[in-house]
Amino acid sequence: MDNHFVSAHGGRGMGTSEGTFVVPPGLTIVFFAKDGTTLDNMLAIPLYDDLLVGQEVGVLGKAVRTYNQWDKAPNYKAYGANHLAGGDPVFQGYPTGVYRVGCGAKNPLRAIADGNTKSLEDIIYYDRVGKSRLQGTLYWLCCCSDESPAKIVQKYTPSSVASYRKWRD
């Protein structure tokens, strides 16, 4: 069973989400930000890098909230971002979407294109007709904010993201 993670802007969409949903059997959802807050890049980027190469052990120690099967979880939204040069400073070179843990960079299982929105429940139940869904662990590497995605993006500058990546490498 593969584990997955979502890398995108996220939140409730200016104070509203699509309510809550019951986590299906066989799935655990891990969050790295408290409800109503943003996920700091200094935490998110190392988590993203670790999950891309399949290193989950240290990632779990950074979790803030975990929902297991049958728990009621908030149905946050993930917002696609422009990952091309000159686009969103947080995601330049890193397509937003759903990734398999250990899959390598720039290869999302399902992309969330710039301007598109997917609810957490829709991400889990990716094929409503065939009733396919994710199982295992799903890591939510997104904000859980009440603010609009545009306001969240304004908080991050290209230099802060670039300087972290330069320091890391």
Tell me the three state secondary structure of residue 21.
strand
Residues of the chain above pLDDT 70, percent: 73
Coil, strand, or helix at residue 34? coil
- The answer to whether residue 54 scores a pLDDT higher than 90 is yes
Average pLDDT over all residues of the chain: 81
Q: What is the pLDDT of residue 23?
A: 95
pTM of the model: 0.84
Query: Over the stretch 69-108, which tens digit does the pLDDT of each residue have?
Result: 999 999 999 988 876 666 666 676 778 899 999 987 767 8
What pLDDT, on the 0 to 100 scale, is given for residue 165?
Answer: 52
What gap in Å lies between CA 66 and CA 144, rounded to an integer? Answer: 13
